[in-house]
Amino acid sequence: MDIATLLIQVTFLTAFSVLLYIIIGMIPGTDETATIAPVTLAFLAAGFDPLLVLAWFMGTIVAFKAADAVPTALAAIPGGVMAVPQVPDALVARKYGYSEILLRKGITASVIGTIVAIAITLPLSFYLAPLGDLLKNPIGPLNWPGWVYLIVAGTLLLAIMSKAKILALLAIFPFAMLVQGLRGLYGHSAFISIFLAITVGPILYELLTLISPNNHHLKRKDYARIKLVRTGKISLNPLHHLTKVEVALSSLLAGLSGILATFMSPVGLTVLFGDLVKESQKDELKGSLMAYAVRDAIKNATYIGGTLIPLIALGVPTGPMSAGPAHPFFAELAAFGGSTPRDVLLQRYSTSTIMLVTIYATLFAAILAYLILIKYSKQLTRFVFKKVPAEALYATFLAIVMVLAYNDAGIAGIFGSILVGLISATFVRNGVSIGILFMVLVAAPYLVGLLF
């Protein structure tokens, strides 16, 4: 495919993904993995060009992460899991009448996070490429490939950092046994159905509660009431929205987080650095505005760095992002003759083509998302809240998961997905990070090997 055709296709795909995921990102409760991973996997399992899917994926994460903070700023309702730490900052801003200013700061900071992350992590990932071979050869006392030690170390680190430390540590071996047990039953190394089951586990758990007699706590008498704050005309100039200190902190912490996300949790980094910034300020309002902006920059950067460094440099999913939403790129798929989309991507395209297309898709998505959100955030939020029912969205992702599970392992795949989904949800609801479960899924054969 020549470069001009490629860029034209990328333009259309990115524009489509930005528009679609701005809407999905604004809908409360839309988990990033549950809404991005099944579609990415569907595209790749269908054999679409991995570079085009990567461009689509970059556009999606940029738009999704920028958009999920909009309902947070305007209505103090998080658009997604990653925006949850921003709610307290949004409430402080609302108390002082700064919601509109907060909105502009968040959207602008997410663009800064995107630009810094792509500028640092993409060249770095090619520079680090020689490390990939080192990680693939068996080494050390357990004779595991290098990457397995990394992913197990990452899992332990995430477990120790999570709210439910002991439960998270206890979850590792039983969950690895569940994965390997199902694979034994299916008779092949199924991945898709188990991976998707983890992603939709929390939604599945809540929906199954609806048909249980113990669902009184979820019953409501009336519709959800959403208060939208007033906003006026917003300037398009990004320099009007952030202070110099906010630009500096957003850039610095986004760059650092983009690299750290290779092994560390995006949510963890957003909470950690955001809280550090907030606590460094004596003034409550100043601290909250700054923390909100910094968290928005980190969200985009961790998603970009956490995808690109493992994808291009290491070739193995070493962190929660690459073992989670971006994992379809590392899966061995029948559509690519049993190879991974990642290997096909690197064989089919030169370094310069991959860099050009990735940079173009990411920056185009960032600029488009910025313009749309800055100009139409209020109208879009009103449209999404008034027109898009949550029922339709949950149903769509469940249907995609069901059909892919069926494609992976037949009827058994669907039942297996329900089982994995419910067990994952039980862990997640009790404070175990979903990233731990993704990483255990990837390392399951090695972990179970230790037990026998």
Partner 1 sequence: MDKVSQNLYEIFGEVIAERDFLKAFLITATLAFLMYFSAPQIVKMLGREDLLNALRVTLSALGAFLGFIISTAIIEPKRIVEEE
Beta carbon nearer to partner 1, 47 or 123: 47
In contact, 250 and 242? CB cutoff 8 Å: yes
Rg of the chain over Cα atoms, rounded to whole angstroms, equals 21
DSSP string, 239-259: GGTS-HHHHHHHHHHHHHHHH
The contact mask relative to partner 1 for 307-346 (x = CB under 8 A, - = no) is ---------------------------xx-----------
Closest CB 390 distance from partner 1, rounded Å: 4
Beta carbon nearer to partner 1, 48 or 126: 48
Beta carbon nearer to partner 1, 81 or 135: 81
Say which residue the tokens 């500096």 belong to. Answer: 248
Beta carbon nearer to partner 1, 210 or 451: 210
64 near partner 1, judged by CB under 8 A: no
Which 179-208 positions form the footprint of partner 1 (CB under 8 A)?
A: 202-203, 206-207
Look at residues 79, 102, 25, 63 and name the one whose alpha carbon lies nearest to residue 300: 63
**Which pair of tokens denotes residue 227?**
């208060």
Region of 105-113, 212-220, 237-245, 306-314 interacting with partner 1 (CB under 8 A): 212-220
H/E stretch holding 426: helix 390-429
The contact mask relative to partner 1 for 222-261 (x = CB under 8 A, - = no) is xxxxxxxxx-------------------------------
Q: φ, ψ for residue 144 (rounded to 5)?
A: -85, 150
Which 390-409 positions form the footprint of partner 1 (CB under 8 A)?
A: 390-396, 398-400, 402-404, 406-407
SS3 of 145, please?
strand
Beta carbon nearer to partner 1, 173 or 406: 406
**Which pair of tokens denotes residue 201?**
């586990």
Q: Any residues with CB less than 8 A from the CB of 6 and at least 6 apart, and which?
A: 51, 52, 353, 357
By CB under 8 A, how many residues form the interface with partner 1?
Answer: 53
145 DSSP β-pair partners: 138
Which residues of the shown chain bind partner 1 in the complex (CB under 8 A)? 27-29, 39, 42-43, 45-47, 77-78, 202-203, 206-207, 210, 215, 218-230, 334-335, 382, 385-396, 398-400, 402-404, 406-407
